[in-house]
Amino acid sequence: MNKRHSWVEDPLVLDQLAGAETLLVAVLGNGDVPLPFHRQALSMRSKRLRPLLVLLAARCGPESPGPMLLRAAVALELVHEATLYHDDIVDEASVRRGEPSIQATFGPLVAGLAGSELLYAAAELCVDFPAPLRRALTRAGVALSHGQTQEVAMQGYVPITEHERLRIMRLKTARLFALAAQLGVTLASAADDVVVRVTRMGMCIGMCFQLVDDLRDLVGTEVTLGRPPGADLRDGVYTLPVIYALSGPPTEERKNLIDALHSLLTNGDPRTIESAIELIRIQGGFARAAATLGDWLANARKDLSLLASSGPDDAIRSLQNLTIWLARESFLPMRDPMTYRHSYACDSSMS
């Protein structure tokens, strides 16, 4: 059993996941052997977070959903992989999950085409879903593309507000998590209020996930990230820790940080990155981001506790485990900020 899924305590869900993996192979094979450029989608190194969220959310409903459930799970993973294929092209990433990326192996053109294929493969799986779920899917797809575009359009814009960044996070990441939860719980015929609560929890978890990703980019090490930290800063993508660090009175540090950010746009000098990260820390960017993460996780846990009666214990516990993992990946204020790098270096089980 894949140790990546050790946070899932529900054996039925793990069984279903195995079924989903089989379906994924069949879908990508299209009646034949999967093509070489789909090896990344099939990779067992993936955390399969979105499919697992679909399956766990379905446990919160009274009915046992039919084959549509596995299809929904696989579809969301395919959508996620499609975005990874395309992201790696733009980022010129040579490595993904410890293996050569598709764009490095086959070139950007083939990787781009393969990514688009994955999107339509996901759509094929959902072609006979009821109309409201199809509409939810398309809306989430539109949100995804708008979020991406917005992030690109805002690159290099230092005065980006917290509101704008939250919107980008919601559109490009959290909506997909929300959709996963929504599909699962709807297919299990849950009551309306449960659907709302589960979907909201999914959105919340998605926001947390993105924030953790953003934090990791700044405080991770080359070992844990597989690349040097600060890629977002070089791209001009200013995430919440940066935005928090820049809010507040115009001190000398704030001015230095703005200068560093501007200079990083042309020249990604590692020393400038280090000093920028240090300035973010001094300005309280990380502390405040961690506090925000803590708030969001508390909300997610609150929703989960209210769902305790809706689903079997081990399903609810699995989702609780997910929030705990997300919390661990951040640094709550109690943790010594000087040692956060050290804790990252140790904690690689979920990377």
Partner 1 sequence: MYDVVVIGAGPAGSAAAYHGSRLGLRVLVVDRLAFPRAKTCGDALTPRAVAAVRRFGVAPLAGIPVRGIRLVHRETMESTVETFPSWEGGSTGMLVPRETLDDMLLSRGRAAGARFEMAAARGLIRDGSRVTGIVIETPSETLRVPARCVVVAIGSANARFFQNQRRPRPFPAVGLAGRVGLRGTEDIGDYLEFYFPLLTDGRVLSAYGWVFPDGATRANVGVGVVRTARSGRILLGRLIDEFVSWLVATDDRFSHAELCSPMRAASIAGFPVLASEPGLLTVGDAAGIANPFTGEGIASALESGELAAQAISRSPEDAHRVYEESLRDRFPQVHRLRHSIASVHSQPWIVLGRGWDVILSPQSRTGRALKRSLLDVPPARTPLDLIAHRSVQDALATIRTDLKPIIGRLPALTGELVHAMMADPESDVGWCTAFASMVRGGLVCHEPFLTRDIRRVLTALELIGLVGAAHCDLPEWSNPRSSSWGRKTLSLLIADSVNVEILAMAFELSQPWRGFLTTFARQVFRRAAAGRSDKNVPADFVILDELFQAAAFVGIPNGARVYRGPVATVATRLAVLRASVLAREQFAPNACDAVCRVPAKLRTYLEEILSLAARPRMNTPRENSKPTMLPIPGPSRLPHLIT
Q: Which residues of the shown chain bind partner 1 in the complex (CB under 8 A)?
A: 30, 35-37, 86, 89-90, 92, 103-104, 106-110, 112-114, 116-117, 119-121, 123-124, 126-128, 134-135, 137-138, 141-142, 144-146, 148-150, 152-159, 236, 258, 262-267
Q: Which is nearer to partner 1, 239 or 310 (CB)?
A: 239
DSSP state of 96: E
Question: Which H or E run includes 322?
Answer: helix 313-328
Report in angstroms how near the CB of residue 141 gets to partner 1 at its nearest. Answer: 4
Cβ within 8 Å of residue 208, ≥6 positions away: 293, 296, 297, 300, 323, 326
Amino acid at residue number 13: V
Question: Any idea which residue has 């395919």 for tokens?
Answer: 78
Report in angstroms how near the CB of residue 3 gets to partner 1 at its nearest. Answer: 32
> Please, where are the H alpha helices in 92-130?
102-106, 108-125
Closest CA to 177 of 36, 80, 111, 266: 80
Question: How far apart, in whole angstroms, are the C-alpha atoms of residue 96 and residue 33?
Answer: 23
Report in angstroms how near the CB of residue 226 gets to partner 1 at its nearest. Answer: 18
Q: Which is nearer to partner 1, 115 or 311 (CB)?
A: 115
Report in angstroms how near the CB of residue 230 gets to partner 1 at its nearest. Answer: 15
Determine phi and psi for 303, rounding to 5 degrees: -60, -40
Q: Which is nearer to partner 1, 64 or 161 (CB)?
A: 161
Which two tokens mark 150? Answer: 């917005």
Helix, strand or coil, per DSSP, at residue 277: helix
Report in angstroms how near the CB of residue 43 gets to partner 1 at its nearest. Answer: 18
Q: Which is nearer to partner 1, 42 or 196 (CB)?
A: 42
Report in angstroms how near the CB of residue 349 gets to partner 1 at its nearest. Answer: 32
Q: Which is nearer to partner 1, 74 or 114 (CB)?
A: 114
Question: Any idea which residue has 């959902």 for tokens?
Answer: 126
- The tally of CA atoms less than 13 A away on the side-chain side of residue 320 is 16
Q: Which is nearer to partner 1, 69 or 136 (CB)?
A: 136
